[in-house]
């Protein structure tokens, strides 16, 4: 079964094509910096153990332009891996917010699309991109089954004390206002990888997904017990353009004292805050360059970013009543050694002892960056949301 996986982020599209049940992709790629200067595609094709790599810089104003370019590469006469889009049996889509309507992988119908649209307001940076990916894929891969895998599904195991808010009960029972959590596909995948690596199915883990969007999850026995994102994906950690946790009084101040309307406040907190608000940049690589150039704004931003993560480590260690491993994943978590260093320093009281030399090394698989004496493992595990999505699609359709 040929399953093409589309993972549309706020400024990126990751994709992989699998011939299931094999876990090895036929091709994969990344479209990044969509809508920003220097948008680029990295496309890889795998044949007989050999990798062919193509890199291009393009003007990609939006996600539709990016996905159209990906479709062209899939059937390119020279490097294509399919002759015709009709060869794709299923397209698996990452969808960020499923509300209380979707707790499992779902074949996409018009009713499902309508519900995803209804949830735009809860995930304004992602659900519109996810929806657009579905619409474009339906046109390009007309024969394929379109399947949605929801980020919120993994966190359905959270206990009520973790997902409820201290607001009038009717707002939950009638409006569904509760914490849903996100990045569930990534947290599930790396938690399973970590438990297998530790040879401990009931492992107590804190999974730390750091990308343009970021979140942390307390996991025990493969189940989510708590997570930093809530009703929408703006709570918790500091992110590329999102504020993360703030005092709700700030929202009232922006509206009542500064005269902003709710739409302006939403745009401010979702698209103009986080690292963008602190430094003028949303991409961590740009902020790193600014830091190396002596920028005090970049220095402060790094400190705030790491400090927020440390606070959640302390909170989730308490929730779990112990800890077997910290797991860093996603673009920043896997590649930014400085962030990992700033997070992991001075956590010895929790049994977390960090090895600077190991932290600077790179590898494609799971690696430890803790000292041999550390009671808690510090793991860097590359996430593979696309493989997890393909597995869930295959399980649904086979």
Binding residues for substrate: 94
Cis peptide before 21 (omega within 30 of 0): yes
Q: How far is CA 130 from the centre of its chain?
A: 13
* Separation of alpha carbons 188 and 181, rounded Å: 12
Which DSSP category does 370 fall into?
Answer: B
Binding-site positions: 7, 14, 94, 209-213, 283-285, 331-335, 385
Which DSSP category does 293 fall into?
Answer: T
* Separation of alpha carbons 354 and 378, rounded Å: 8
Specify which residues 51 forms β-bridges with. 46
267 Cβ partners below 8 Å, 6+ apart? none
Neighbours of 21 (CB within 10 A): 12
With contact defined as beta carbons under 8 Å apart, do 144 and 137 qualify?
yes
* Separation of alpha carbons 136 and 29, rounded Å: 17
Binding-site positions for ATP: 14, 209-213, 283-285, 331-335
* Separation of alpha carbons 341 and 305, rounded Å: 12
Binding-site positions for Mg(2+): 7, 385
Q: Beta 325-329 vs 377-380: how paired, if at all? A: parallel
* Separation of alpha carbons 398 and 395, rounded Å: 6
Annotate 27-59 with b (16+ C-beta within 10 A) or e (fewer): bbbbbbbbeeeebebebbbeeeeeeeeeeeeee
Point out the catalytic residue in the list 89, 151, 324, 336.
151
* Separation of alpha carbons 38 and 57, rounded Å: 6
DSSP 103-153: SS-EE--HHHHHHHHHTGGGSTTTHHHHHHHHHHHHHHSTTSEEEEEETTG
Specify which residues 18 forms β-bridges with. 3, 25
Instruction: Clarify whether 324 is annotated catalytic.
Output: no
Annotated catalytic sites, by residue? 151
């Amino acid at each position: 079964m040929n399953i093409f996986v589309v993972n549309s982020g706020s400024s990126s599209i990751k994709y992989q094509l699998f011939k299931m049940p094999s876990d090895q992709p036929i091709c994969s790629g990344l479209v990044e910096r969509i809508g920003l200067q220097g948008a680029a595609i990295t496309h890889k094709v795998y044949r007989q153990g050999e990798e062919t790599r193509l890199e291009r810089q393009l003007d990609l104003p939006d996600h539709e332009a990016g996905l159209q370019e990906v479709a062209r590469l899939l059937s390119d006469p020279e490097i294509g891996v399919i002759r015709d889009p009709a060869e794709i049996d299923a397209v698996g889509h990452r969808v960020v917010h499923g509300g209380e309507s979707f707790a499992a992988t779902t074949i996409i119908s018009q009713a499902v699309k309508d519900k995803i649209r209804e949830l735009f307001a809860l995930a304004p940076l992602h659900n519109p991109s996810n929806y657009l990916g579905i619409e474009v894929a339906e046109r390009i891969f007309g024969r394929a089954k379109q399947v949605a895998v929801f980020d919120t599904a993994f966190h359905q195991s959270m206990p009520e004390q973790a997902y409820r808010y201290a607001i009038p009960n009717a707002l939950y029972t009638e409006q569904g206002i509760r914490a849903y959590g996100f990045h569930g596909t990534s947290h599930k995948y790396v938690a399973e990888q970590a438990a297998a690596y530790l040879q401990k199915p009931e492992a107590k883990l804190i999974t730390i997904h750091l990308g343009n969007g970021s979140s942390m999850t307390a996991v025990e026995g493969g189940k989510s017990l708590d997570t930093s994102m809530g009703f929408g994906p703006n709570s918790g950690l500091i992110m590329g353009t999102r504020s993360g946790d703030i005092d709700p009084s700030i929202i009232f101040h922006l509206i009542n004292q500064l005269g902003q309307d709710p739409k302006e406040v939403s745009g401010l907190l979702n698209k103009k805050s986080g690292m963008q608000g602190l430094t003028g940049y949303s991409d961590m690589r740009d902020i790193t360059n600014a830091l190396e150039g002596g920028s005090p704004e970049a220095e402060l931003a790094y400190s705030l970013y790491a400090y927020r993560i440390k606070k959640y480590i302390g909170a989730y260690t308490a929730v779990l009543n112990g800890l077997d491993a910290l797991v860093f994943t996603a673009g920043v978590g896997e590649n930014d050694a400085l962030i990992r260093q700033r997070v992991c320093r001075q956590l010895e009281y929790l049994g977390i002892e960090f090895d600077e030399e190991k932290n600077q090394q790179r590898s494609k698989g799971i690696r430890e960056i803790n000292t041999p004496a550390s009671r808690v493992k510090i793991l860097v595990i590359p996430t593979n949301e696309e493989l997890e999505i393909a597995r869930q699609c295959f399980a649904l359709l086979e």
